[in-house]
Structure 1
Amino acid sequence: MKRNFVYLIIFALAVITISEMIGFQSIPIGPFTVSLLPLVFAILITMFLGFKIFRAGFWKKVYSDENVHFAGKYLLFIMLPLMARYGADVAPQIRDILEVGWVFLIQEFGNLGTVLIGLPIAITLGLRREAIGATLGIGREGELAYISEKYTLESKEGRGVLSIYIIGTLFGAVFFSVFAPILLDIGFSPEALAMASGVGSGSMMSAASATLAARLPEMESTILAYAAASQLLTSFVGTFTMVFLAAPLQQFMYKFLIRGDK
């Protein structure tokens, strides 16, 4: 176990070094420009080397079950310094944030989008009880805890939320780092996109806001502050939105869309 852990640390440092050497890259695609952070390259490298065809020798030790369990268990602690940094970014912009405070509250209703849009699509694709876990939210810790307590993770609902949790962990940061600058090129306000970055996931928020800040360095402090404030609010108010609005709405829609399902 200790030796495998050392291999994990060496591998992580190597990936970080390579990703930082690649640096921030902008790729023009038609009228849009896709911006890729070193974080994206780090995720892609680790995902690619995690394929079974590479699971031999050194890579087998890096991707051992013990290391995978360790990384998942302590990911939250690794994110804490980043969250502290974003918390510090809020203070200098607190006056501007308070002036548009009502917008931050209204944006929380966006959490209902996964139910209003995602649930019908999931049912159309053939999901049933799994759709309840998969569309309650973006499948982060809050949704995971709620579904776990109400249905258990061994249930169909539990499999649904676990699937989204895994997909979000693997692809969430990559998607947000690519999607945010595309919306910026379409004409969305940087402030609005910064607010929208706070979806309840630290890695997704960091990827989106950092990409926006890299594209608009003159607005970096504002973007990071708005994203951090939105993230903090989502982590708090989003829980009540999920329990008292999203979950009842989801049950009503599910019964309407799937009559007679048990």
Structure 2
Amino acid sequence: MDAKPSMFSWKVHLFVLVLVCVTELIGVHELGLGIGTITLFPMLYALIIGSIMSIPKLKILKKKEMQISANILGISFMLFIAKLGTMMGPQLMELFKSGIPLLLQEAGHILGTIILGLPIALLIGMKREAIGATFSIDREPNLAIISEKYSSDSAEGRGALGVYVCGTLFGALYLSLLTSIIAKLDIFHPLSLAMGAGVGSGSMMAAVTGTLVTIYPDQADTIAVFSGGANLITTLLGTYICVFISLPLTEFLYNKLNPILGRKHKNEIKNIKT
């Protein structure tokens, strides 16, 4: 038995190289929908093709190779953050000037995912899955928090994982379209929209940033810096906010709202009355 976990596979790296080459050749395309524009990035094509390749029935990738890919993902994300750091260095003073707005955007986690998302989750019939699904946008650090507290096999873990998968598949497309619509309204400064791109997801941030750069090409570098800075702050600060504020608040609200909005409780009350 090999004591050291494998981090290398010729098959995995070969597939990654082919995917990168193919998707980069496809390039960036814009899909106009009248109300806005969806920007399709090579990353999206790679995600779709990779998802098809990982279907167990096709037997293209084994479970061991998928685990190797998951381990490599963490290293790749570190390299991505390092690249953002080199871009942020020359713009640190600009970031410091916008420090408070960057920090206050964390309030969106509470107002958006919890206050709006939790009641809707209960109304459509979700139980404790609603806690994992709505306490954050459920990216990698948030999944780790849920797994540590409830375990990945728990109802909370299933809720968090479900939102993670949906965010990975549809989040970039949705935010790309939303950014295009909001930017064309011309009511927010491009740098405000860039800061809003930092939701704690690399793919979603890239989708928003790419759309903004297409609309405001003269501010491309500044937009990339502010979106990257906001995303980094959200990832770091957001982890502590989720542990000490968002998750306890979500569980508290769940216990209060579930007897009122939960389908199961409503059915139990009806049965008692009849």
For residues 172 and 9 of structure 1, what CA distance do their matches in structure 2 show? 26
Match of 1:110 in 2: 108
Tell me if the contact between 1:111 and 1:241 (Cα under 8 Å) persists in the aligned partners. no
Cα distance change, pair 142–98 in 1 and its aligned pair in 2 (3 A): same
Match of 2:200 in 1: 200
Output one character per residue of 1:15-53: Cα deviation in whole Å (capped at 9) or x when no partner: 222211221212221142222222222223333444567
How far off its partner does 1:127 sit? 0.5
For residues 79 and 176 of structure 1, what CA distance do their matches in structure 2 show? 21
For residues 207 and 35 of structure 2, what CA distance do their matches in structure 1 show? 22
Cα distance change, pair 26–127 in 1 and its aligned pair in 2 (3 A): same
Output one character per residue of 1:189-247: Cα deviation in whole Å (capped at 9) or x when no partner: 32122111111122322332233224322111111111111112112221232233212
Match of 1:257 in 2: 257
How far off its partner does 1:178 sit? 4.1
Cα distance change, pair 215–16 in 1 and its aligned pair in 2 (3 A): farther
Whether 1:92 aligns to 2:90 is yes
Gaps of 5+ in 2: 1-5, 266-274
For residues 172 and 93 of structure 2, what CA distance do their matches in structure 1 show? 29
Gaps of 5+ in 1: none
How far off its partner does 1:173 sit? 3.6
Match of 2:129 in 1: 130
Match of 1:11 in 2: 15
Larger CA deviation: 226-235 vs 241-250: 241-250
How far off its partner does 1:174 sit? 4.0
Matched-pair identity in %: 36
> What TM-score does the superposition give when structure 2 sets the normalisation length?
0.82
Whether 1:30 aligns to 2:34 is yes
Cα distance change, pair 141–52 in 1 and its aligned pair in 2 (3 A): closer
RMSD: 2.5
Equivalent runs, 1:209-220 vs 2, <5 Å: 209-220=209-220
For residues 185 and 22 of structure 1, what CA distance do their matches in structure 2 show? 27
Equivalent runs, 1:1-262 vs 2, <5 Å: 5-51=9-55, 55=58, 60-61=59-60, 63-112=61-110, 113-187=112-186, 188-259=188-259
Tell me if the contact between 2:199 and 2:205 (Cα under 8 Å) persists in the aligned partners. yes
For residues 182 and 89 of structure 1, what CA distance do their matches in structure 2 show? 27
Tell me if the contact between 1:104 and 1:195 (Cα under 8 Å) persists in the aligned partners. yes
For residues 71 and 52 of structure 1, what CA distance do their matches in structure 2 show? 15
For residues 31 and 153 of structure 1, what CA distance do their matches in structure 2 show? 39
Q: Which amino acid aligns with 2:130?
A: A
Which is higher, the Rg of structure 1 or of structure 2?
2
For residues 71 and 176 of structure 2, what CA distance do their matches in structure 1 show? 24
Tell me if the contact between 2:12 and 2:69 (Cα under 8 Å) persists in the aligned partners. no
> What TM-score does the superposition give when structure 1 sets the normalisation length?
0.86
Q: Give 3-state SS (helix, strand or coil) of 2:259's partner.
A: coil
Cα distance change, pair 179–67 in 1 and its aligned pair in 2 (3 A): farther
How far off its partner does 1:109 sit? 0.5
